[in-house]
Every structure is written in C-alpha cells, then in structure tokens.
Structure 1
C-alpha cells in the first residue's frame, strides 16, 4: 500500500491520535515507515508581548513527552518530528522532505467557515503533492 505515511497529531486529543496511528499501521507496507509530527503554532505578534517567553519552549517539551508515549505504542514509527509555525505549511513541508506517499490527518469538528473538514486539514488536502486521508 504505502511506504511512508506522515501522521500529524493534535496532542490535545490522545484518543483520536491513537486511532489515526492505527489506521496508518493498517495501510503501511511491510518495511514501511510512519512519521509522526506535531506542530506547535507560533503566537501572533500582538499576543507574544503579553505571554511568557518560555510558553513555546514548554509546549515543545510537552509535545516531545506525549509523542514519546505514542511512539512506544507502535514499532512502525520511524521518526518523530516537532515543528513550530503554521500547521498546514509545516505538515506540507515535512511531507515533501520525507517523500511521504500518504498523509493521514485527523479533522476536528469544524466551524461554519470550514464545515466539512477543519481549516488545517482543508489546506493540506488542497495543497499536498501526495495522497491525503482525512480521519473524521
């Protein structure tokens, strides 16, 4: 099926992350690899002034710990990445860097402007150069 699957995870919803990981394992070729990624969003400039400087650093440390727990649940995870920036841009960039042939992205319950899938999933679907599976 697929040799390299990129799985972006929202660590605020561990159950959905585990479910998405299981789907990736089911679609992975023998000898294939899963790349887990979490993107810590940058703070807008107008908020950065009022927020403690170490908030992003703490978010990255927390992400490392949570991704380590997820990695222990699967022997098919070959790499774990933590990025900071705009989630869709970072996911798409990593997909190209790793030559992923599939991205499995979970979608949250969207608001009115992104009724069918969430904003990040929508951008990834529209701009990815590989196949994308949206997990609702």
Structure 2
C-alpha cells in the first residue's frame, strides 16, 4: 500500500507546458486541497542610461502576471487559491524553501523546463533533488 501524500508541492512554469506535471500531481494527491502550486520567477532589473532611477525592478510585474495565471490554473482544477505561491529567486532554492514552509510530503516537478531565455534547462529538477528532505516525483516532459 502506498503512503498518502498530505501536501504535494507542484512547481510549474506557467509560461510553458505544465499539463503533464499537473496531471500527475492530480493523480497522486488524495484531493485537490492537498496540492500547492508554485511558480518561481528570476529577479529581473533593467538599467536605463540617463535615467533618474537607474534600475527598474520588473520582478513585481512578473510576480503579478504569474499569480494571475497560477490562480486561473488553480481555479480550473479545483485547487484552493490559498494554495498558490509565487516566489522570486533561484528556482531550486525557492522550491526547497516553500517545500519546507509547507512541510510538503512530495514535490512533483518536470524533468526539464524552459523560460524565455532557456535558463536552467533540466538543471532545476536536478538541483531540487540534491539536498531535498522529501519525496520527489520527476515527470518526463
């Protein structure tokens, strides 16, 4: 008999194809209330020459867009909106942090993903595996 996972963390890239990852999480979680969605955005700044304020932080814009998209995904899958998380930082570090914070039993992650700059292709899942204290289900996409 397989153990029931009470808290399943599902980090997804809302701007890429996440359907297989979410589908697998829905299969292993006992209920949609047990699923927590996470999107991690990279910090982004833009330096403007001659600008009075030399840096504009785009992180808040990205965070708001991702939260809107993640909330839509949650609503479409009967996942409580309180189970939606958006963080800014290094994907593996933030996944570890949120997993600890939620005391997640399982992390369901894609084995490769890509952002607009094709950053960390495949290495995020690998980095999550190292130093994690919970089960990880890697979904081949």
Indicate whether the TM-score tops 0.5: yes
Kindly provide the CA deviation profile for residues 78-110 of structure 1, in whole angstroms up to 9, marking residues without a partner as x: 500010011100000100110100000112269
**TM-score, length-scaled by structure 1:** 0.81
Q: TM-score w.r.t. structure 2 length? A: 0.78
Assess, with a 3 A threshold, how the Cα gap between structure 1 residues 11 and 119 changes in structure 2: closer, same or farther: same
Distance 1:109 1:11, change over 3 A: closer
Question: Aligned residue pairs: how many?
Answer: 126
Say which structure is richer in strand. Answer: 1
Q: Which residue of 1 is the match for residue 106 of structure 2?
A: 102
Bigger Rg, structure 1 or 2: 2
2:6 aligned residue: 3
For 2:104, what is the secondary structure of its paired residue?
A: coil
Which of 132, 135, 138 lines up with 1:134 in the alignment? Answer: 138
Root-mean-square deviation (CA, aligned residues, Å) is 2.4
Structure 1 residue 83 corresponds to structure 2 residue 87: yes
Moved over 6 A (4+): none
1:49 aligns with 2:47: yes
Give 3-state SS (helix, strand or coil) of 1:75's partner: coil
SS in 1 for 2:83: strand
Higher share of residues assigned helix: 1
Partner residue, 1:24? 25
Q: Which runs of 5+ in 2 are unaligned?
A: 49-53, 115-119
